[in-house]
Amino acid sequence: MTRAFLDAPPNGPTVTDYDRTHAVLYLRLLDAEVAGADWKEVAALLLGLDPLTAPEHARNVHATHLARARWMSTQGYQQLLRRPDK
């Protein structure tokens, strides 16, 4: 199975096509965090990673996507609300 996500999402100051494509993943990551879900379970269920065989990789992919999800929820979303002509 080919993963539909990068090892690390974009980290720039603008919302990207990658962010738009992965908005639902970001929301699910934020929901899991609020629910107190174990990152290993989240990495397996949402990202399709095996934290037992590649724990550092799984933790990094989870952490970078969660960080981007947080950014989207506090700053990036504002870009989505702007009118295209502004």
Q: How confident is the model over 2-51, as pLDDT tens digits?
A: 458 899 999 999 999 999 999 999 999 999 999 999 999 999 999 999 99
**Percent helix, strand and coil across the chain, each rounded to 5?**
65, 0, 35
Predicted pLDDT of residue 3: 58
| pLDDT tens per residue across span 48-82 | 999 999 999 999 999 999 999 999 999 998 888 88
Predicted pLDDT of residue 65: 98
Q: In 3-state terms, what secondary structure has residue 70?
A: helix
